[in-house]
Structure 1
Amino acid sequence: MAHRQRTRRTAVERETVDFGVAELLQDPDRPRAWTLLIDGTPQSHVDLDDPGHLEFEYVRRLGHVVDLAAPPGRPLRVLHLGGGALTLARYVAATRPRSGQQVVEIDAALVDLVRRRLPLERTSRIRVRTGDARQVLSRAPEEAFDLLVADVFAAGRTPAHLTSVEFVTAAARALRPDGLYAANVADGAPLAFARGQVATVLAVFPYACLIAEPAVLRGRRFGNVVLVGARRELPIAVLTRLTASDPFSARVVHGEELTRFAAGAAPVTDADAQASPEPPPDLFGPRT
């Protein structure tokens, strides 16, 4: 969630799902592209003709992480916590054929809607499971995945139990030694939540970086921060070039600068975890 979107969209379907009202809005510039909203909050954009197209800024940044997780074209084992319309899973399937992917989505009715209206390619090898992200993660085998993406929102907020050291430790356990952890975090001034999440990731992974627009980092705008953690050095130079060339360019913060960003923030534990801040009511503009 939390991104800018074009305004020329027309609602084509509304359906009550388990955790709200889902809307599918057709993209006027792409004949088979759709935006999924839940209770008015944009969740996903999918182009059925071009799954390699990533519309939302933060999803483009997660796409860069996918691109750098392994040499080009090499299949990956990926665990997606949070499903939406399966945008990133479709991207992995398109850019890395034969990848084995598991998507965890708590809203069974939403999964059914996406399968009916935005069907997957039969060769995609994407398996969708319904359930709580942390519960499913706790049962994942050790060192099973090359990439784990945490992108779970409920009413526009990341649930508290997916923000702690215990949660990130469980994610690290499920990753292979050279695997990557990537999390989508939404925050605004004074960025206390984002700083706590950086401290949390650094408590588990020896290498980390964040990717965000300068306006978000300065607290001038509520928006998305993508956090990446690993047990190996990250390809910072390449990631910096990729994010700088995006339509909405972003900065990559790492090393001592990342340590300074998180200065004074303590790692979050299950005992003190809180959901991410609620987005401003006017963030996504007027309802359709």
Structure 2
Amino acid sequence: MLADQGDPGEGTAGGAVQFLADADRPGGWLLLIDRIRQSYVDLDDPTYLDFEYAQWFADVFDALPAGPLAVTHVGGGACTLARYVGATRPGSTQIVLEPDEQLTALVRARLPFARGTRVRIRPVGGAEGIVALRDAGADVLVLDAFAGGRVPAELTTVEFLTEVARALKPAGTFLANIADGGDVTYTRRLVAALRTVFADVLVRADPAVLKGRRFGNVVLAASGGDLPVAELARRAAGAMFPQRVVSGAELTDLVRDAAPLTAAVPMRSPAPPDEIWRVGG
């Protein structure tokens, strides 16, 4: 992607923020924090999703019953997925939990939301914000929060996930974007935690990531009801770069004896190699 480097970045609580214009898409912008790729937004077409994991999220949303949804997002960035939901499911009500108020102000100023997008951004962290949500209020709850390229440890424990389940409707869906590599210990332990809270869990990733051959994104879905596993597996297999969906007995084999992540024994996601997500130098 060719981009205009623009200004050197504005400092916020989360780091140096930079917006890079996409030379190939007039409305396209890439948000960087400390040179790490955070979000891509196309102001002219909010349904265009440049990051693969965002496309995987969208597949789950598209597989849910038609109509508006109540969605809570843990982690704001440029609110790419919130814009997608606003465009594809008009009338949806959305809450974004983003503690960095300076980042939110910059995003609103540089990347304004389309008219009619019903998004409320609350200046709180995920753990604090989830506890304050009412019971059974959300159809979907999305975790896409990184600090320094890593998912904060407090956002993947059994205790946090129990609060997530409380805030979701009984058959609501939890989605999480993480990153892993090697023996995918973090993924295995997070799945173990999810399975202590939710009835149905699946993992979607590049097969090479699950086999430990490279570092990359892993998307997890969980629900108190039944996930549309067959539909999501079909979409994953038919993607430009096919991925694998793992559920049921296969997921049990993947997790093996991994211990669930808890507040007593938490774990941050592993640090990504700089060459994957960091832009420049």
Establish whether TM, by shorter chain, passes 0.5. yes
Offset at residue 19 of structure 1 (A)? 1.3
Report the TM-score when normalising by structure 2.
0.97
Summarize the Cα distance change of 1:20–1:123 in structure 2 as closer, same or farther, 3 Å threshold.
same
Per the normalisation by structure 1, the TM-score is: 0.95
Please tell me whether residue 91 in structure 1 is matched to residue 84 in structure 2.
yes
What letter matches 1:98 in structure 2? G
- Residues 197-208 of structure 1: matches in 2 within 5 Å? 197-208=190-201
Report if the CA contact (8 A) 2:37-2:279 is conserved.
no
Q: 2:44 aligns with which of 49, 62, 71?
A: 49
Shift of 1:94: 0.3
> Match for residue 3 of structure 1?
none
Match of 1:264 in 2: 257
1:68 maps to: 63
Note the alpha carbon deviations across 1:207-243, whole angstroms, 9 max, x for none.
0100101111111111111110011111111111212
Cα distance between partner residues in 1 of 2:15 and 2:123: 16
The separation in 2 between residues aligned to 1:214 and 1:202, in whole angstroms, is 21
* One-letter amino acid of the structure 1 residue matched with residue 246 of structure 2: V
Is the counterpart of residue 223 in structure 1 residue 223 in structure 2?
A: no
Matched with 2:164 is: 171
Aligned equivalents of 2:277, 2:138: Cα separation in 1: 34
Q: Secondary structure at the match of 1:124?
A: coil
The alpha carbon displacement at 1:286 in A equals 5.1
Mapped pair 1:20 → 2:15: yes
Matches of 1:285 and 1:244 in 2, distance apart?
28
2:213 is the counterpart of 1:184: no
Q: How does 1:1-288 map to 2 (within 5 A)?
A: 6=1, 8-13=2-7, 14-71=9-66, 74-284=67-277, 287=280
Structure 2, unaligned runs of 5 or more: none
Distance 1:26 1:281 in 2: 21
Q: Deviations over 1:221-277 (max 9, x none)?
A: 111111100111111111112122222221110000001111110111101102111
2:120 maps to amino acid: R
Number of matched residues? Answer: 280
Q: Distance in 2 between matches of 1:170 and 1:33?
A: 35
SS in 1 for 2:217: strand
Shift of 1:21: 0.4
Name the CA distance, whole Å, in 1 between partners of 2:55 and 2:85. Answer: 12
Which one-letter code corresponds to 2:20 in the other structure?
A: L
SS in 2 for 1:59: helix
Give the superposition deviation at 1:281: 2.4
Tell me the CA shift for residue 285 of structure 1: 5.8
Task: Supply the distance in 1 between the matched residues of 2:92 and 2:206 (Cα, whole angstroms).
Answer: 30
Tell me the amino acid that sits aligned with residue 99 of structure 1. Answer: S
Residue 272 of structure 1 aligns to a residue whose secondary structure is: coil
CA RMSD of aligned residues (A): 1.1
| 1: CA distance, partners of 2:101 / 2:241 | 33
Within 2, Cα distance between the matches of 1:144 and 1:202?
21
Task: Determine the C-alpha separation between the residues in 2 that align with 1:186 and 1:200.
Answer: 16
Distance 2:224 2:156 in 1: 19
2:197 aligned counterpart, secondary structure: coil
* 1:57/1:248 contact within 8 Å kept: no
Q: Which runs of 5+ in 1 are unaligned?
A: 1-5
Q: CA deviation at 1:69?
A: 2.6
